[in-house]
Protein backbone atom coordinates (compact mmCIF):
# COMPACT_ATOMS: atom_id res chain seq x y z
CA UNK A 1 0.00 0.00 0.00
CA UNK A 2 1.29 3.45 -0.94
CA UNK A 3 1.17 6.36 1.41
CA UNK A 4 0.75 10.04 0.67
CA UNK A 5 4.04 11.88 1.09
CA UNK A 6 3.09 14.90 3.15
CA UNK A 7 4.81 17.50 5.23
CA UNK A 8 5.22 16.97 8.97
CA UNK A 9 2.97 19.94 9.70
CA UNK A 10 0.16 21.68 7.88
CA UNK A 11 -2.06 20.24 5.16
CA UNK A 12 -0.76 17.39 3.11
CA UNK A 13 -0.04 17.70 -0.59
CA UNK A 14 -3.15 15.67 -1.35
CA UNK A 15 -5.31 18.03 0.70
CA UNK A 16 -3.80 21.00 -1.10
CA UNK A 17 -4.48 19.34 -4.46
CA UNK A 18 -8.14 18.83 -3.59
CA UNK A 19 -8.44 22.41 -2.31
CA UNK A 20 -6.95 23.74 -5.53
CA UNK A 21 -9.20 21.60 -7.70
CA UNK A 22 -12.34 22.72 -5.88
CA UNK A 23 -11.44 26.41 -5.82
CA UNK A 24 -10.47 26.39 -9.49
CA UNK A 25 -13.62 24.66 -10.69
CA UNK A 26 -16.71 26.73 -11.51
CA UNK A 27 -18.91 23.65 -11.08
CA UNK A 28 -19.11 21.01 -8.34
CA UNK A 29 -16.58 18.24 -8.95
CA UNK A 30 -17.47 14.53 -8.98
CA UNK A 31 -15.55 12.55 -6.42
CA UNK A 32 -14.31 10.27 -9.21
CA UNK A 33 -12.62 13.23 -10.92
CA UNK A 34 -11.03 14.31 -7.65
CA UNK A 35 -9.73 10.78 -7.01
CA UNK A 36 -8.05 10.69 -10.43
CA UNK A 37 -5.79 13.60 -9.44
CA UNK A 38 -4.62 12.07 -6.15
CA UNK A 39 -1.62 9.79 -5.61
CA UNK A 40 -2.26 6.07 -5.70
CA UNK A 41 -3.72 4.77 -2.47
CA UNK A 42 -4.96 8.12 -1.15
CA UNK A 43 -8.64 8.11 -0.28
CA UNK A 44 -10.55 11.00 -1.84
CA UNK A 45 -13.40 10.44 0.64
CA UNK A 46 -11.02 10.78 3.58
CA UNK A 47 -9.47 13.97 2.18
CA UNK A 48 -12.89 15.51 1.57
CA UNK A 49 -14.06 14.68 5.08
CA UNK A 50 -10.92 16.29 6.51
CA UNK A 51 -11.40 19.44 4.45
CA UNK A 52 -15.09 19.59 5.29
CA UNK A 53 -14.29 19.59 9.01
CA UNK A 54 -11.51 22.15 8.55
CA UNK A 55 -13.75 24.61 6.72
CA UNK A 56 -16.82 24.11 8.92
CA UNK A 57 -16.15 27.35 10.82
CA UNK A 58 -14.65 29.35 7.93
CA UNK A 59 -16.20 31.83 5.49
CA UNK A 60 -16.64 29.08 2.94
CA UNK A 61 -17.92 25.56 3.56
CA UNK A 62 -17.17 22.38 1.68
CA UNK A 63 -20.52 20.90 0.72
CA UNK A 64 -21.68 17.78 -1.09
CA UNK A 65 -24.07 18.15 -4.01
CA UNK A 66 -25.27 14.65 -4.88
CA UNK A 67 -22.01 12.84 -5.77
CA UNK A 68 -20.10 16.08 -6.31
CA UNK A 69 -18.28 18.49 -4.01
CA UNK A 70 -17.88 22.27 -4.02
CA UNK A 71 -16.96 25.22 -1.85
CA UNK A 72 -19.91 27.46 -1.01
CA UNK A 73 -20.30 30.65 0.99
CA UNK A 74 -21.22 30.07 4.63
CA UNK A 75 -25.01 30.50 4.91
CA UNK A 76 -24.79 33.07 7.72
CA UNK A 77 -22.71 35.42 5.54
CA UNK A 78 -25.24 35.74 2.72
CA UNK A 79 -26.45 39.21 3.70
CA UNK A 80 -22.92 40.60 3.94
CA UNK A 81 -22.02 39.36 0.46
CA UNK A 82 -25.12 40.51 -1.40
CA UNK A 83 -24.04 42.38 -4.53
CA UNK A 84 -26.23 44.71 -6.55
CA UNK A 85 -25.55 44.45 -10.24
CA UNK A 86 -26.65 46.71 -13.05
CA UNK A 87 -28.41 44.65 -15.67
CA UNK A 88 -28.18 45.86 -19.22
CA UNK A 89 -31.44 45.89 -21.10
CA UNK A 90 -31.77 46.55 -24.78
CA UNK A 91 -33.87 49.61 -25.49
CA UNK A 92 -36.95 49.15 -27.60
CA UNK A 93 -37.18 50.89 -30.96
CA UNK A 94 -39.71 53.30 -29.47
CA UNK A 95 -37.29 54.17 -26.65
CA UNK A 96 -34.40 54.73 -29.07
CA UNK A 97 -36.53 57.02 -31.24
CA UNK A 98 -37.84 58.90 -28.20
CA UNK A 99 -34.32 59.35 -26.81
CA UNK A 100 -33.14 60.66 -30.18
CA UNK A 101 -35.95 63.21 -30.32
CA UNK A 102 -35.26 64.40 -26.79
CA UNK A 103 -31.55 64.76 -27.55
CA UNK A 104 -32.03 66.70 -30.79
CA UNK A 105 -34.95 68.91 -29.73
CA UNK A 106 -34.68 69.32 -25.98
CA UNK A 107 -36.42 70.58 -24.01
CA UNK A 108 -39.43 68.73 -25.43
CA UNK A 109 -42.81 67.70 -24.08
CA UNK A 110 -44.50 64.37 -24.53
CA UNK A 111 -46.78 65.99 -27.12
CA UNK A 112 -43.73 67.22 -29.04
CA UNK A 113 -42.34 63.69 -29.12
CA UNK A 114 -45.63 62.26 -30.31
CA UNK A 115 -45.93 64.88 -33.05
CA UNK A 116 -42.47 64.08 -34.40
CA UNK A 117 -42.78 60.30 -34.12
CA UNK A 118 -46.32 60.26 -35.43
CA UNK A 119 -47.43 57.77 -32.77
CA UNK A 120 -48.36 57.93 -29.11
CA UNK A 121 -45.61 57.66 -26.49
CA UNK A 122 -46.32 55.03 -23.88
CA UNK A 123 -45.68 55.65 -20.20
CA UNK A 124 -43.22 52.76 -20.16
CA UNK A 125 -41.01 54.33 -22.81
CA UNK A 126 -40.33 57.50 -20.83
CA UNK A 127 -40.07 55.53 -17.61
CA UNK A 128 -37.38 53.27 -19.13
CA UNK A 129 -35.29 56.26 -20.23
CA UNK A 130 -35.77 57.96 -16.87
CA UNK A 131 -34.76 54.80 -15.02
CA UNK A 132 -31.66 54.50 -17.20
CA UNK A 133 -30.71 58.01 -16.13
CA UNK A 134 -30.58 59.32 -19.72
CA UNK A 135 -33.42 61.85 -19.53
CA UNK A 136 -34.67 64.14 -16.79
CA UNK A 137 -37.46 66.71 -16.25
CA UNK A 138 -36.52 70.22 -17.34
CA UNK A 139 -39.38 72.22 -15.83
CA UNK A 140 -42.82 73.02 -17.18
CA UNK A 141 -43.47 75.05 -20.29
CA UNK A 142 -45.34 78.26 -19.68
CA UNK A 143 -48.28 77.49 -21.95
CA UNK A 144 -51.83 76.33 -21.17
CA UNK A 145 -51.66 73.07 -19.25
CA UNK A 146 -48.00 73.70 -18.33
CA UNK A 147 -46.72 70.42 -19.83
CA UNK A 148 -43.58 68.91 -18.42
CA UNK A 149 -40.49 69.13 -20.63
CA UNK A 150 -37.69 66.61 -20.93
CA UNK A 151 -33.97 66.83 -21.68
CA UNK A 152 -30.92 64.59 -21.63
CA UNK A 153 -28.52 64.16 -18.71
CA UNK A 154 -24.76 64.13 -18.20
CA UNK A 155 -25.07 60.35 -17.84
CA UNK A 156 -26.45 60.24 -21.40
CA UNK A 157 -23.45 62.15 -22.73
CA UNK A 158 -21.04 60.00 -20.75
CA UNK A 159 -22.62 56.72 -21.87
CA UNK A 160 -22.46 57.63 -25.55
CA UNK A 161 -19.02 59.24 -25.33
CA UNK A 162 -20.23 62.75 -26.12
CA UNK A 163 -18.70 65.96 -24.84
CA UNK A 164 -21.80 67.98 -25.69
CA UNK A 165 -25.03 67.60 -27.62
CA UNK A 166 -23.33 69.27 -30.55
CA UNK A 167 -21.34 66.04 -30.97
CA UNK A 168 -24.49 64.08 -31.86
CA UNK A 169 -24.45 62.38 -35.27
CA UNK A 170 -26.33 63.85 -38.21
CA UNK A 171 -29.42 62.52 -39.97
CA UNK A 172 -27.61 60.30 -42.46
CA UNK A 173 -25.56 58.67 -39.71
CA UNK A 174 -28.72 57.89 -37.77
CA UNK A 175 -30.35 56.37 -40.83
CA UNK A 176 -27.29 54.21 -41.39
CA UNK A 177 -27.55 52.80 -37.88
CA UNK A 178 -31.23 51.97 -38.37
CA UNK A 179 -32.35 54.31 -35.61
CA UNK A 180 -34.82 56.03 -37.94
CA UNK A 181 -37.57 54.47 -40.00
CA UNK A 182 -39.44 55.87 -43.00
CA UNK A 183 -42.11 57.80 -41.13
CA UNK A 184 -41.97 61.41 -42.39
CA UNK A 185 -42.00 62.95 -38.92
CA UNK A 186 -38.85 61.14 -37.85
CA UNK A 187 -36.76 62.73 -40.59
CA UNK A 188 -36.87 65.93 -38.57
CA UNK A 189 -35.03 64.41 -35.61
CA UNK A 190 -31.55 65.46 -36.66
CA UNK A 191 -32.31 68.17 -39.20
CA UNK A 192 -31.91 71.05 -36.78
CA UNK A 193 -34.85 72.83 -38.40
CA UNK A 194 -37.26 75.16 -36.65
CA UNK A 195 -40.21 73.10 -35.50
CA UNK A 196 -42.35 75.77 -33.93
CA UNK A 197 -41.62 74.68 -30.36
CA UNK A 198 -41.13 77.49 -27.89
CA UNK A 199 -37.92 77.10 -25.86
CA UNK A 200 -38.19 76.42 -22.17
CA UNK A 201 -37.95 79.57 -20.07
CA UNK A 202 -35.48 77.86 -17.75
CA UNK A 203 -37.09 79.22 -14.60
CA UNK A 204 -36.43 75.90 -12.87
CA UNK A 205 -39.67 76.26 -10.94
CA UNK A 206 -40.02 72.54 -10.33
CA UNK A 207 -36.26 71.96 -10.14
CA UNK A 208 -36.58 68.37 -11.39
CA UNK A 209 -38.62 67.22 -8.41
CA UNK A 210 -40.98 64.87 -10.17
CA UNK A 211 -41.78 61.22 -9.62
CA UNK A 212 -42.55 58.88 -12.50
CA UNK A 213 -46.32 59.16 -12.33
CA UNK A 214 -46.37 62.93 -12.03
CA UNK A 215 -43.86 63.34 -14.81
CA UNK A 216 -45.85 61.17 -17.17
CA UNK A 217 -49.27 62.60 -16.36
CA UNK A 218 -48.08 66.13 -16.68
CA UNK A 219 -46.43 65.61 -20.06
Q: Strand pairing partners for 63?
A: 70
State residue 82's pLDDT score. Answer: 79
pTM: 0.45
State residue 181's pLDDT score. Answer: 52
Q: What is the 3-state secondary structure (H, E, C) of 162-191?
A: CCCHHHCCCHHHHHHHCCCCCCHHHHHCCC
State residue 170's pLDDT score. Answer: 72
State residue 175's pLDDT score. Answer: 63
**Cα 131 from Cα 41, distance rounded (Å):** 60
Domains within the chain, CATH numbers bracketed: 13-79 (1.10.10.10), 93-218 (1.10.10.10)
* For residue 47, pLDDT beyond 50: yes
* For residue 217, pLDDT beyond 60: no
Task: Write out the H or E segment, with its range, that includes residue 149.
Answer: strand 148-152
User: How confident is residue 171, by pLDDT bands cut at 50, 70 and 90?
Assistant: low
- Over the stretch 116-148, which tens digit does the pLDDT of each residue have? 888 888 888 899 899 888 999 999 998 888 999
Amino acid sequence: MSFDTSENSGPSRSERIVEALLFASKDPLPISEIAERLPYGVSAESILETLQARYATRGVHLVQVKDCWAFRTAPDLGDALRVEMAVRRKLSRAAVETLSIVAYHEPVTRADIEEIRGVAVSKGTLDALLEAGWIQPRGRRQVPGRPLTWGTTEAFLDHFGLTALSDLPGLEELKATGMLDKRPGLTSIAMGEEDGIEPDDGDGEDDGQFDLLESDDGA
